[in-house]
């Protein structure tokens, strides 16, 4: 969320004049937890991804640091006694743009695992880009306008546009998460007769996690429309840091599921970036002029039993099957 004119719910006065001690303590707690999660997320990113490249990695990385900038900007705003100016607004805006758009790109990248329609994926990407442009530019203009010596002309337009952009970005994430839940439910249905209970549990876990993400998004929206702006600005970075941590749970399950599909039910180690690239490469190699539908799982031929070989130190494993060869360290 971008900073509001006047940096208060009503758009008047300084944070010190509008926060009681309890509220200020709550804001600092939320923002501190968000910053702690950022530190943990950086360790998880560097230890999980073996190759620092690709849309999935960079959107994850940028969104994580967007949370850091956003939280630091609001923390400085809340503890300062004077009205923040251009510097504080810039920190918050950089974090807001990176955090919100980065999170949507993380969800979009993950969508490749369950959705193989080129047309639908391109529509989702177009939606993310268009919303980023037409929502971010007016917010930036209004925020900097509210930081001038005459902020009054910008306060009413921002108050309206603030709720609009938050609603649109929330709906955008709901669309991506909803599509993921829908496609995952279809996979569970297709696998009901051929897949084991472990595979169904994995897919069920992915669906429940996306429901949690939806509930977190709705909580931010509720705080905004109930006029709890100050709490919402501290709660939102925490929510986005939690959603990124939840993403690692999803990623681990996707790696497990991807390995299970390729080996016909035999699970083994596989890196996160390998699993992500499998789905993204499948999308890139599809015919751009043809909609590629995900084949029903009961129509996919189960590969021959994989032959596993492990090194004496247990650091690498490989298998070969009719579907190809995978090596991971």
Per residue in 260-306, pLDDT (tens digit) is 655 655 444 444 555 555 544 544 454 444 444 444 433 334 333 33
310: left (phi over 0), alpha (psi -120 to 50) or beta: beta
Q: Please list the alpha-helical segments (H only) found in 192-271.
A: 197-225, 229-263
What does the block give as tokens for 78? 């809340």
Q: Tell me the range of 56-60, 178-182, 250-254 where mean pLDDT is highest.
A: 56-60
Alpha-carbon Rg for the chain in angstroms? 22
Give the model's pLDDT for residue 262.
58
Burial class of residue 279 in the structure, from the number of CB atoms within 10 Å of its CB (0-12 exposed, 13-18 middle, 19+ buried):
buried
Whole-structure pTM value: 0.73
Task: Report percent pLDDT > 70 for the chain.
Answer: 67
What does the block give as tokens for 133? 């442009």
Is the pLDDT higher at 86 or at 202?
A: 86
Task: Delineate the domains of the chain, giving CATH numbers in brackets.
Answer: 5-304 (1.20.1070)
Classify each residue of 63-73 as buried b or exposed e, where b means 16 or more C-beta atoms within 10 Å of its C-beta. Answer: bbbbbbbbbbb
Per residue in 176-229, pLDDT (tens digit) is 988 988 888 787 777 665 556 666 777 777 778 888 888 999 999 999 898 888
């Amino acid at each position: 969320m971008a900073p509001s004119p006047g940096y208060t719910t009503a758009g008047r006065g300084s944070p010190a004049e509008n926060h009681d001690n309890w509220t200020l303590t709550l804001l600092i707690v939320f923002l501190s937890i968000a910053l702690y999660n950022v530190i943990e997320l950086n360790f998880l990113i560097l230890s999980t991804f073996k190759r620092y490249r690709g849309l999935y990695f960079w959107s994850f990385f940028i969104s994580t640091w967007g949370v850091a900038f956003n939280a630091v900007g609001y923390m400085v705003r809340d503890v300062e006694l004077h009205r923040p100016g251009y510097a504080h607004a810039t920190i918050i805006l950089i974090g807001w743009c990176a955090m919100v758009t980065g999170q949507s790109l993380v969800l979009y990248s993950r969508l490749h695992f369950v959705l193989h329609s080129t047309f639908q994926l391109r529509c989702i990407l177009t939606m993310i880009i268009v919303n980023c442009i037409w929502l971010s530019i007016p917010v930036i203009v209004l925020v900097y306008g509210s930081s001038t010596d005459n902020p009054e002309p910008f306060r009413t337009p921002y108050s309206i546009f603030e709720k609009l952009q938050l609603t649109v970005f929330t709906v955008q994430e709901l669309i991506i998460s909803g599509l993921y839940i829908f496609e995952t439910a279809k996979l569970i249905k297709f696998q009901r007769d051929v897949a084991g209970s472990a595979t169904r549990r994995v897919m069920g876990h992915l669906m429940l996690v996306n429901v949690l993400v939806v509930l977190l998004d709705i909580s931010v929206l509720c705080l905004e429309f109930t006029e709890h702006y100050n709490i919402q600005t501290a709660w939102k970075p925490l929510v986005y840091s939690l959603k990124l941590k939840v993403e690692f749970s999803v990623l681990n399950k996707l790696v497990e599921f991807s390995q299970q599909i390729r080996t016909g039910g035999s699970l083994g180690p596989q890196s996160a970036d390998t699993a992500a690239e499998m789905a993204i490469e499948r999308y890139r190699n599809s015919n751009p002029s043809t909609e590629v539908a995900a084949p029903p799982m009961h129509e996919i031929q189960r590969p021959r039993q994989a032959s596993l070989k492990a090194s004496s130190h247990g650091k690498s494993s490989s298998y070969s099957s009719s579907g190809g060869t995978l090596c991971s360290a």
